[in-house]
Amino acid sequence: MASILGFGEIMLRLSTPRGEVLSSASSLDTAFGGAEANTIIALAGFGHNAAFLTCQPDNDWGRRSTAMLAASGIRSETLYMSDARIGTYFLETGVGRRGGRIIYDRKHSAFACQDWSGLDWSALLRGVDRLHLSGITLALSESAADACEAAARAACEVGCGVSFDANYRSALWADPRDFGAACRRIAALADVVFCGCREIRWMIDQPRPDEISPDPAHGFHLLKPVAPNMRWLAGTLHDQDESGMQRLGGFATNGEDSAKVEPRGLGQFIDRVGGGDAFAAGILHGLAEGWPVQRTSEFAHAAAALKHTIFGDQLRASAAEVQRYAAHGAAVSR
């Protein structure tokens, strides 16, 4: 199993009970989430040695988020900031054809205000096989974006893999071209990149989306000039059936071998948030295990689909449970 370090913000999640909307909900369910942490927690569930670096306020919410990491089997490298606040997001839980809705309240959070310039990334990455980063962190502050690049450069210098999930969020970027420029800083150093056609377009500064084929190998070769170290490209696929219900697929490629799981119906689901992060964890697990592209992509798709049946941002399942879900679906395990 691999040793993996994640870096990013963990937010307080406040979500409406199923079937209610934010404008009239009288209570909200609490949880914690964040793209990088979601992936790291899933990897810990698969048996990997996982650690996470973040910054939280020195109060009950900050320490509760750290306790959540510990309970998930994560070694936490949490910095605490006095007189600070935790980043928060409000989730209006979607039902049926009514999609979910998220409102961010994360400006001036402890993570965003932290000065990350003094970190010794070479020491933090000692003995680590992989560093996992996300494009979300690049939008939170200049210091956080610089820290991501410094971490990725240090990882390359010590022979540590770098996985980068572009994770475009329209609420965090006024101009997608800024998103593309920021992502190029990290993609240039990554050996595994997670993104779709839309994000590839912005990362390569391609004004014509119709010239980007949905073929995974085509996307790989388009992105390769800005991601010269890239060995794998992967991502989720989404569409809707005739009734408007969501379907989920995924792809993975190393530029030569490609696999594509066409979107499939999810059936009854509990929580859509975090499916892409579970998919990323599935890909990284398959890569660490030395699996071929097809097996890896099928496992990652099953991990993402299984996540939709679990409340909260994180997939909490072992690799064996994911494989059992892929093979038997909803059958009762006795």
Pairing status of strand 29-33 against strand 11-15: antiparallel
What sign does the CA torsion over 2, 167, 324, 71 have? positive
Q: Give the span between the Cα atoms of 120 and 114, in whole angstroms.
A: 15
What single string gives the DSSP state of each residue in 171-190?
GG-SSHHHHHHHHHHHHTT-
Cβ 251 vs Cβ 258: under 8 Å: yes
Q: What is the pLDDT of residue 262?
A: 87
What single string gives the DSSP state of each residue in 262-293?
EEEE--S-S--TTHHHHHHHHHHHHHHHT--H
- Closest by Cα among 160, 159, 134 to 147: 134
The one-letter amino acid at 319 = A
267, 273, 276, 281 alpha-carbon torsion, rounded to 10°? -100
Cβ 278 vs Cβ 271: under 8 Å: no
pTM higher than 0.85: yes
- Closest by Cα among 107, 174, 175, 178 to 140: 107
What sign does the CA torsion over 249, 281, 174, 29 have? positive
- Where exactly are the structural domains of the chain? 3-323
The residue written with tokens 């969020």 in the block is: 169
Alpha carbon 33 to chain centroid distance?
A: 10
Tell me the per-residue pLDDT of 63-121, one tens digit each, with 9 for 90 and over.
999 999 999 999 999 999 999 999 999 999 877 777 788 999 999 999 999 999 989 99
The one-letter amino acid at 104 = Y
Q: Is 239 helix (H, G, I), strand (E, B) or coil?
A: strand
DSSP summary character for residue 58: S
Domain 3-323 fold is UDP-N-acetylmuramoyl-L-alanine:D-glutamate ligase (3.40.1190)
183, 299, 32, 162 alpha-carbon torsion, rounded to 10°? -30
User: For the purposes of burial, counting CB atoms within 10 Å of the CB of 294, is it exposed (0-12), middle (13-18) or buried (19 or more)?
Assistant: middle
Q: What is the pLDDT of residue 268?
A: 73
217, 222, 250, 35 alpha-carbon torsion, rounded to 10°? 140
Please name the helix (run of DSSP H) or strand (run of DSSP E) that holds residue 142, with its range, or none.
Answer: helix 142-157
Q: Give the span between the Cα atoms of 22 and 16, in whole angstroms.
A: 6
Q: Give the span between the Cα atoms of 255 and 276, in whole angstroms.
A: 21
Please report, for residues 179, 224, 236, the alpha-carbon distance to residue 176 in angstroms, rounded to integers and kept in the order given.
5, 20, 20
pLDDT per residue as tens, the chain (334 positions): 899 999 999 999 999 998 899 999 999 999 999 999 999 999 999 999 999 999 999 999 999 999 999 999 999 999 999 999 999 999 998 777 777 889 999 999 999 999 999 899 999 999 999 999 999 999 999 999 999 999 999 999 999 999 999 999 999 999 999 999 999 999 999 999 999 888 999 999 876 655 666 788 889 999 999 999 999 999 998 877 766 677 889 999 999 999 999 888 777 778 888 999 999 999 999 999 999 999 999 999 999 999 999 999 999 999 999 999 988 765 545 4
